[in-house]
Every structure is written in structure tokens, then in C-alpha cells.
Amino acid sequence: MAQIATIVPIMITVGANRIIPGVAIPHPVGDPEAGPEEDKKVRRKLVLRALKALQTEIFEQTIFDSD
């Protein structure tokens, strides 16, 4: 399982295995204030990062915060 979340310490506390830091609390997967095209880019980047996290073998909690 991979989780996109804005408050990484909480995800660590609850035991999430693959953590992808989100954008902001009201919009963890996107940035609607950036406009439709930029928002789509942000969402796509996060989803691709989550898919990469799912394909990555891990042995402990891992934060996937860069490409």
C-alpha cells in the first residue's frame, strides 16, 4: 500500500509503509490554485510517484519525496 498524505509524521505513527508527501492539507493530491494545467501536472507527478512506490521493494517505512 502507498499513501499520499500531507502530515508525514502521522503516517509514520500509524505505520504506513510507503509514504508520498502531499501538497497541502485541504488539497493533498493537487494544487487547484495553480490553474487547471499546473494542477494536472502536480496530480500526475504524485500518482506516478505512488505507482513507483508500489513497485519498489521496501523493508521498512519509506518516504518517497522525490523522483
Question: What is the side-by-side order of every strand in the sheet holding 62-63?
Answer: 2-5, 18-21, 62-63
pLDDT for the residue numbered 34? 87
pLDDT of res. 21: 96
Domain membership of residue 10 as a residue range:
2-63
**pLDDT 10s digit of each residue in the chain, 67 long?**
999 999 999 999 999 999 999 998 888 998 888 899 999 999 999 999 999 999 999 999 999 997 6
How many domains are there within the chain? 1
Quick one: three-class SS letters along the chain? Answer: CEEEECCHHHHHHHCCCEEEECCECCECCCCHHHCHHHHHHHHHHHHHHHHHHHHCCCCCCEECCCC
User: Global pTM?
Assistant: 0.86
What number of CA atoms fall less than 13 Å from residue 35's CA on the CB side? 2
